[in-house]
A = this chain, B = another copy of it.
Amino acid sequence: MIEITSPDQFRKKQRTGIPKQIFDRVESVLSEVELRGFEAVQEYSRIFDKFEINTENLKVSEGEIQIAPELISTLEKETIDIVFERVEKIQTSIAKSALAETKEQIGSGYVCFKPRPTERIGIYVPGGVAPLPSSLLMAGITARAAGVKEIIVCTPPQKNGISPAILYVAKKLGIKDIYQIGGAQAIASMTYGLQNLLFKVDMVCGPGNVYVAAAKQLVSSKGIIKIDLVAGPSEVLIIADQSANAQYIAADMLAQAEHGTNSPAILLTNSKELAEKVKKEVEQQLSWLKNNETAIASIRNFSAIVLIDDLDQAIEIANEYAPEHLEVFTKDSERTASKLTTAGAIFINTCESFADYGMSGGNHILPTGGTARFLSGLSVYDFVVRTYIEYMTDEDQAELAQKTSIFADLEGLEAHSNAARLRGVIK
């Protein structure tokens, strides 16, 4: 079922991206919604979600949001409350530096690099297979910590109404505009707006299926709005030595694998004994799962147990692979982790399950597919826009006019040179 392999073999393994034909289909959804607005959304809802949407049921009513807390169990509510508090604590702390203003004197003038929260954002909350309140928690708390005032939500319509867990989270976040729109048509609606039914946003965030990911990528590349991240298949890389617990590792690999049929779960270990134990555990635990088709596909086609020489080699491979999730179970996990530079999130002595639900405090919207080389997990930083404000005195301009015009001449920009030279004489 899962192979034990060498680093060289592992390096040849490919991760998957979004297939081209998906982009073509999504492109047409985007242009139809841009052109025909709500009418197009109605058609797609009928086709993809088997749901008749109209101006009445498009938006979740205030009553439904108000009653949500009474429709979930006390234990569920307590759980959401704990997660809320933990994620909020970290993002509030990050906000201190993310929203810091820089002001510095330059000559007799100044430069200020002034931050402000993004004005209006849209959060996509998946709900096709199961409702994902945790996604709303992660994106919503982070945006609020940044000071974002206007937040709207799109989530696929459900026969029995939107999950009360999602509505409870929305209520805690003070979100009132929740639209029953799913898939690429939701991203299109938030990007272009639906006349007076839904106003367009400046930024779209939240994970989704491959259609949602493709739609986000397309609207972002057109430069119309900002997006958080394009989430590819979720992935975990685990570094472990002989001191690690094989049962935990196998359980974590399966938790990763159940995310999708192409979710890599990789173990790097220098212990042949652990490798064999994990292999056995994976097979055993798989047989206990009620629904294991998805996990089986990922384990068989995208996962591997890689035997490495020593932990240094593991660190080298991990930094190169730049995984979304990186778990460390070694004799001195903190020491091992200190040498890891390139991952969305690194878990020391814990696992993605706790992290996915914010129990460990971080964010679960993370860069995938090796993009952790240059992208960061979602944080307050992503919701901050900054403007350079530059003030110069007349004296400074007079003094620098000649030098500025020299630079402009060097670049062949005559009118720039003129504009500077004009300031060369104090009136």
Contacts and interface: CB of A to CB of B under 8 A. Distances in A.
Interface of A: 17, 75-76, 78-80, 82-83, 86, 89-90, 93-94, 96-98, 100, 102, 104, 106-107, 109-111, 113, 116, 118-119, 129-134, 165, 202-203, 217-218, 220-223, 225-226, 230, 232, 247-248, 251-252, 254-255, 257-259, 285, 288-291, 295, 334, 337, 341-357, 359-363, 366, 369, 371-377, 379, 381, 384-394, 396-397, 400, 403-404, 406-408, 410-420, 422-423
A417 to B, nearest CB: 8
A373 B289 contact: no
Given A346-B387, A361-B390, A415-B255, A406 B75 contact: yes
Each complex incorporates copies of this chain amounting to 2
Nearest to A258: B415
A386 B393 contact: no
A420 B353 contact: yes
A286 B342 CA distance: 53
Given A345-B389, A350-B390, A362-B390, A248 B133 contact: no
29 contacts: A75-B406, A79-B406, A83-B407, A90-B102, A90-B106, A90-B113, A97-B102, A100-B100, A109-B350, A119-B373, A130-B412, A131-B410, A131-B411, A165-B410, A217-B221, A218-B221, A254-B415, A255-B413, A285-B418, A289-B415, A345-B387, A345-B390, A352-B419, A353-B404, A354-B420, A359-B403, A363-B388, A377-B386, A381-B381
Contacts of A400: 82, 354, 359
A226 B102 contact: no
Contacts of A109: 350, 360-361
Nearest to A72: B410
Contacts of A361: 104, 106, 109-111, 390
A119 to B, nearest CB: 7
Given A89-B106, A106-B86, A257 B388 contact: no
